[in-house]
Amino acid sequence: MAGIKHLKDLQNTEYSLKKIFEEAEDFLPLNGTDYVELYVGNAKQTAHFYKTAFGFQSEAYAGLETGMKDRVSYVLRQDKIRLVLTTPLKQDGEINEHINVHGDAVKVVALWVDDSTKAFEETTKRGAKPYLKPTKEEDENGYVIRSGIYTYGETVHVFVERKNYKGLFLPGFRKWESHYNPEPVGLKFIDHMVGNVGWNEMREWCEFYGKVMGFAQIISFTDDDISTDFTALMSKVMSNGNGRVKFPINEPAKGKKKSQIEEYLDFNNGPGVQHIAVATDDIVATVSAMRDRGVDFLYVPEEYYDDLLDRVGEIDEDVEVLKKHGILIDRDEEGYLLQIFTKTIVDRPTMFFEVIQRKGAQSFGVGNFKALFEAIEREQASRGTL
C-alpha cells in the first residue's frame, strides 16, 4: 500500500504537487484524450460490435466514398470517448504489417492540445522519436494540425490541435449516418489507459513520460503488493499535470508460472496498450447493459464478497447486486471505487476494457489486484498459457 500512501502525501502537500506539476503545465499542456485508434482486420464489423455491445454511437466515416483510397476509418463516440477503427483496403503497407504483428490493437493514443507544433517540438527536443511531423489538414470546416511521437512498442501519441476546426472529427471525414443506433450504456470518458512493456523496461518508459512528456509518477506497486502464488507484475502510474491523462505502465515480474503480462507480450509480439479504463456514473446499470449485449466479464469467485464490508467499510451499493455482476470494490483514503474487467475483447489474449466508477478514490484498485489476477489466471489456464 506504499504507493497509495505516496499519493495521499502528494495530495496533502499542495505546494509540492504544484511544484511537481509546474513543468508539466509549462511545456506540454493537455486538454485530455482526443481519440484512440485501433488498427483492425475488419473495421465495419468491429464498429458494429462496439455499437451493439458497448453502446458507442456512429459519428464519422472516411473511405473510398470520401476520397480515401487506401483505408477505411469508422469513428464512434460515447460521451467524451472517441474510438477510431481503421482497416487497410490494399495489401502490404504499414497498417497491414501492424495487424499481422499485433492482431487488432491500439495504434494511436491521441491527445488534445492547443498547439500541436509546440507539443511536437517540446517532446522531440527532449528525446521523443518522431512519428508525424506537424501536418495541417483542411476542409470547408477549417483546419486541424496533427503531429505525433512514438511511445512503447509501435504505439504512438498523436497531438491534435482542433481549435480552428468546426467539423465532426477531422478533414476528410463525413457524418456517418446509420439507421442502427443502439442506446449508449453510460460510458463517459477514458479514466486511464495501461501499457504493458517488456522485462526491465518499466523504468525506461516511466522516465520517458516524466522527461519527454513532463508527467509525474503518482503511484507505484511492486510485485509484493500484487503478486499471486503464480504470477506477478510491477506497475507505476504516470499522470500529466492536470490529471486528465493517466498512463499506468506494467512490466512482468518473476512468478512461479507465466504472468499475464508475459502472455500479452507473447501474443502482441511486444509492448502495447493492455487495457482502456472507461468511467461511468452508474457501474451497475452500465455493466448489466453490457452483459445483456454480450460482453463477457472476468468471473470473480463468490468468496471475494464474504468479507467485503470488513475490508472496504460502508458503501452505497447492495453487495448482492455487486456480487451478481462480479463488480470489485476498493477503498483508499479519499473514498472508494468500483471496477470490473472484461475478458479480452479481441481474438488474441491481449487487449481488454475496464469499467470504473470512482466515489472519491483516486487510486487504481490495488486491493483488488490479487482477486483480479486469480481470475485472469483461470482464463490463462483454460488457454494453456499459464
Quick check: 277 binds Fe ion (CB under 5 A)? Answer: yes
Which residue, 123 or 228, is less far from Fe ion as judged by CB? 228
Which residue, 116 or 227, is less far from Fe ion as judged by CB? 227
**In angstroms, what is the minimal distance from the CB of 158 to Fe ion?**
22
Which residue, 123 or 231, is less far from Fe ion as judged by CB? 231
Which residue, 123 or 363, is less far from Fe ion as judged by CB? 363
Number of residues lying near Fe ion (CB under 5 A): 2
Q: Is 227 exposed, middle or buried (0-12, 13-18, 19+ CB in 10 A)?
A: buried
**In angstroms, what is the minimal distance from the CB of 191 to Fe ion?**
8
Q: Give the Cβ contact number of residue 257 at 10 Å.
A: 15
Which residue, 159 or 341, is less far from Fe ion as judged by CB? 341
Which residue, 53 or 237, is less far from Fe ion as judged by CB? 237
Stretch that binds Fe ion, among 73-81, 140-148, 224-232, 349-357 (CB under 5 A): 349-357
Crossing angle of helices 369-383/260-268, nearest 10°? 50
Stretch that binds Fe ion, among 83-91, 256-264, 277-285, 325-333 (CB under 5 A): 277-285
Stretch that binds Fe ion, among 49-57, 216-224, 258-266, 348-356 (CB under 5 A): 348-356
Stretch that binds Fe ion, among 23-31, 80-88, 107-115, 354-362 (CB under 5 A): 354-362
**3-state SS string for the chain:** CHHHHHHHHHHHCHHHHHHHHHHHHHHCCCCEEEEEEEECCCHHHHHHHHHHHHCCEEEEEECHHHCCCCEEEEEEEECCEEEEEEEECCCCCHHHHHHHHHCCEEEEEEEEECCHHHHHHHHHHCCCCEEEEEEEEEECCEEEEEEEEECCCCCEEEEEECCCECCCCCCCCEECCCCCCCCCCCEEEEEEEEEECCCCCHHHHHHHHHHHCCCEEEEEECHHHHCCCCCEEEEEEEECCCCCCEEEEEEEECCCCCCHHHHHHHHHCCCEEEEEEEEECCHHHHHHHHHHCCCCECCCCHHHHCCHHHHHCCCCCCHHHHHHHCCEEEEECCEEEEEEEECCCCCCCCCEEEEEEEEECCCCCHHHHHHHHHHHHHHHHHHCCC
Which residue, 170 or 277, is less far from Fe ion as judged by CB? 277
**In angstroms, what is the minimal distance from the CB of 223 to Fe ion?**
17
**In angstroms, what is the minimal distance from the CB of 53 to Fe ion?**
19
Which residue, 95 or 197, is less far from Fe ion as judged by CB? 197
**In angstroms, what is the minimal distance from the CB of 84 to Fe ion?**
21
Stretch that binds Fe ion, among 20-28, 47-55, 179-187, 351-359 (CB under 5 A): 351-359
Stretch that binds Fe ion, among 6-14, 20-28, 213-221, 346-354 (CB under 5 A): 346-354
Figure out which of the listed residues 37, 104, 354, 379 binds Fe ion, where binding follows CB under 5 A: 354
**Going residue by residue from 303 to 342, which x/- string records binding to Fe ion, judged by CB under 5 A?**
----------------------------------------
Quick check: 110 binds Fe ion (CB under 5 A)? Answer: no
Q: Which residues lie near Fe ion (CB under 5 A)?
A: 277, 354
